């Protein structure tokens, strides 16, 4: 006898339009989910040893969970059949013990042991304190990242902002600090995140395994512009990084096409100094030595402005200097909308020329 209690009566009446809608939304969901599996900011497209461990654990959990889910659904379908034979009390107790107690205990203990076993790969400080490692100090600020490259004695070799350059195939010790509120330093493609907390230094070891350009983010709500506090990560051969650290920044000078080497400093620098930008920003090789805002040495090399907020173009930079709070709410930098357009343009041109 056919039983339509489960198949017929409760089935919703669906028009072809509804069916198409649900197919389309399923396809959209799938494409969004799959597209987030790759790219410059995906923990599932690992480019670092710690991110690989995280991705492996994720896939083991997904596949294991999927197999168990299929088993449970299969059992449910089996139990809903009317023709099955009745089970005795002893048999039912066995099902409850093995299915409800023994199985979850074994599976969860297995997964926990596996995750604990993977942990040294995700948090390498289990294996040592990181003596002799390259050190990069990163400070979370509202709403940007101060990045300092240190030598083995802890002396600052070079300061930068919103951009981390790290070697490929070499473990790096990140010393994480915060100057105002709690931030969280996270490069999904390279490894797990760690909080940056005012008044203390957290250490995180990461190793990039693939050269490339990646995106890091702040992973702890830290204020209005929390979501506008990203940074770029360049993973490169160690020799290239050492050359970048050792090279003196080229002084920006006024363009003089075809003529002899220009000697005058760029007009943008004079405006930058005259309008007080140097009170907050530093540029190596100039009088600008402010330490409140991001260091702007080699600003022209950075792909973004405002900590990953906008592409580094002339128009965007002029907009940012004119009214930074319209791009990043509650940013600390005052607006310079009172400056004439040609002065804004000259400052932007000068900054973008810093290599």
The residues that touch ligand CUA, with contacts defined as CB under 6 A, are 140, 143, 183, 218, 220-222, 226, 229
User: What length is written for the chain?
Assistant: 355
Instruction: List 174's β-bridge partners, or say none.
Output: 136, 204
Indicate the residue among 53 and 222 with the shorter CB distance to ligand CUA. Answer: 222
Indicate the residue among 29 and 221 with the shorter CB distance to ligand CUA. Answer: 221
Shortest Cβ 164–ligand CUA spacing (Å): 15
Shortest Cβ 141–ligand CUA spacing (Å): 8
Specify the long-range contacts of residues 106-112, CB closer than 8 Å, at least 24 apart: 107/64, 107/68, 111/60, 111/61, 111/64
Residues 224/329, Cβ–Cβ less than 8 Å: yes
Phi and psi dihedrals of 347, rounded to 5? -65, -45
Indicate the residue among 50 and 220 with the shorter CB distance to ligand CUA. Answer: 220
Shortest Cβ 59–ligand CUA spacing (Å): 28
Q: Residue 216 and residue 308: Cα distance in Å, rounded?
A: 9
Q: How many helices (H) and strands (E) does the chain have?
A: 9, 12
Indicate the residue among 222 and 305 with the shorter CB distance to ligand CUA. Answer: 222
Indicate the residue among 98 and 221 with the shorter CB distance to ligand CUA. Answer: 221
Shortest Cβ 133–ligand CUA spacing (Å): 25
Burial class (CB in 10 A: 0-12, 13-18, 19+), 346: buried
Per-residue tokens: 291:
């330490």
Indicate the residue among 49 and 309 with the shorter CB distance to ligand CUA. Answer: 309
Shortest Cβ 45–ligand CUA spacing (Å): 23
> What residues have CB less than 8 Å from 286, skipping those under 6 apart?
251, 265, 269, 273, 278
Q: Residue 208 and residue 191: Cα distance in Å, rounded?
A: 8
Shortest Cβ 335–ligand CUA spacing (Å): 22
Closest CA to 306 of 192, 242, 296, 68: 296
Shortest Cβ 216–ligand CUA spacing (Å): 11
Indicate the residue among 193 and 281 with the shorter CB distance to ligand CUA. Answer: 193
């Amino acid at each position: 006898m056919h039983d339509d209690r489960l198949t017929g009566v409760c089935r919703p009446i669906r028009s072809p339009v509804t069916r198409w809608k649900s197919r389309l939304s399923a396809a959209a969901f799938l494409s969004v989910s799959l597209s987030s599996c790759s790219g410059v900011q995906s923990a599932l497209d690992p480019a670092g040893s710690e991110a690989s461990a995280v991705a492996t654990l994720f896939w083991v959990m997904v596949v294991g969970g999927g197999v168990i889910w299929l088993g449970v659904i299969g059992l449910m379908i089996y139990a809903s059949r009317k023709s099955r034979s009745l089970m005795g009390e002893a048999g039912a107790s066995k099902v409850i013990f093995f299915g409800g107690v023994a199985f979850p205990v074994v599976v969860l203990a297995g997964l926990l042991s596996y995750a604990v076993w993977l942990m040294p790969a995700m948090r390498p400080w289990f294996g040592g304190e990181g003596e002799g490692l390259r050190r990069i100090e990163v400070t979370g600020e509202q709403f940007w990242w101060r990045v300092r490259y240190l030598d083995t004695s802890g002396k600052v070799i070079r300061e930068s902002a919103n951009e981390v350059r790290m070697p490929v195939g070499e473990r790096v010790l990140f010393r994480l600090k915060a100057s105002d509120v709690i931030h969280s330093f996270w490069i999904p493609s390279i490894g797990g995140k760690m909080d940056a907390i005012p008044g203390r230094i957290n250490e995180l070891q990461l190793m990039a395994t693939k050269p490339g350009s990646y995106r890091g983010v702040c992973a702890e709500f830290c204020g209005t512009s929390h979501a506008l506090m990203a940074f770029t990560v360049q993973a490169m051969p160690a020799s290239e990084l050492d050359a970048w650290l050792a090279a003196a920044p080229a002084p920006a000078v006024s363009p003089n096409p075809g003529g002899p080497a220009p000697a005058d400093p760029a007009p943008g620098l004079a405006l930058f100094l005259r309008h007080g930008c140097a009170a907050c920003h530093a540029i190596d090789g100039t009088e600008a030595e402010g330490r409140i805002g991001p260091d702007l040495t080699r600003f022209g090399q950075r792909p973004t402005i405002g900590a990953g907020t906008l592409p580094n173009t002339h128009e965007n930079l002029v907009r940012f200097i004119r009214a930074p709070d319209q791009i990043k709410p509650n940013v600390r930098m005052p607006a310079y909308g009172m400056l004439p357009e040609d002065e804004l343009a000259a400052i932007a041109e000068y900054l973008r020329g810093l290599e």
